[in-house]
Amino acid sequence: MTGGVVSRVAALRFFAALNPRQLDQLCEAGTPMSYQPGERIFAEGGDADRFWLIETGSVALDVRIPGRGDQVIETLGAGAVLGWSWLHPPYRWQFGASARERLETIAFDGAAVRNRCDADPAFGYAMLRLFTPVIVARLQATRLRLLDLYATSAQVGRP
């Protein structure tokens, strides 16, 4: 089982910096999971007990706005990693996520990966080095969108 997961994970670039032993250790916590178009993967406020490596398809991150429903704030595609709230207490999802089209993923058990990180600081550091750029890139993307770069001066501040 793990062998299949290892080769699927190794086919994507995201975990390429892990050495073979670390990749095996990570994949022990991984399970293939598929989602149907429109299927909710997790809801805002729920237990952040996993993260996913997206193999094919795309995911919409959303936030619930009273009176306006679930507003999509970002989409993630193949090769991206979904979820980092499993890394830090209180381990709750800040946003929701649902599949936009049929989705193939490897889902990783957050608690198992955290335990491995605690037990093996080299593994933990390697994971942190992989996840920090993701968090930074998403923060930068959010800041860029806050600038509302394509708006005319008359549009700034308007939806």
Q: Residue 135 is which amino acid?
A: I
- Is 40 near other proteins (CB under 8 A)? no
Q: How far is the CB of 140 from other proteins (least distance, A)?
A: 7
- Is 79 near other proteins (CB under 8 A)? yes
Task: Indicate the residue among 9 and 54 with the shorter CB distance to other proteins.
Answer: 54
Q: What is the largest CA-CA distance in the chain?
A: 57
- Is 58 near other proteins (CB under 8 A)? yes
Closest C-alpha among 25, 39, 26, 13 to residue 104: 39
In what order do the strands lie in the sheet containing 50-56? 30-35, 103-109, 50-56, 81-82
Return residues touching other proteins (CB under 8 A): 58, 60, 71-75, 77-79, 100, 137, 140-141, 144-145, 147-153, 155, 159
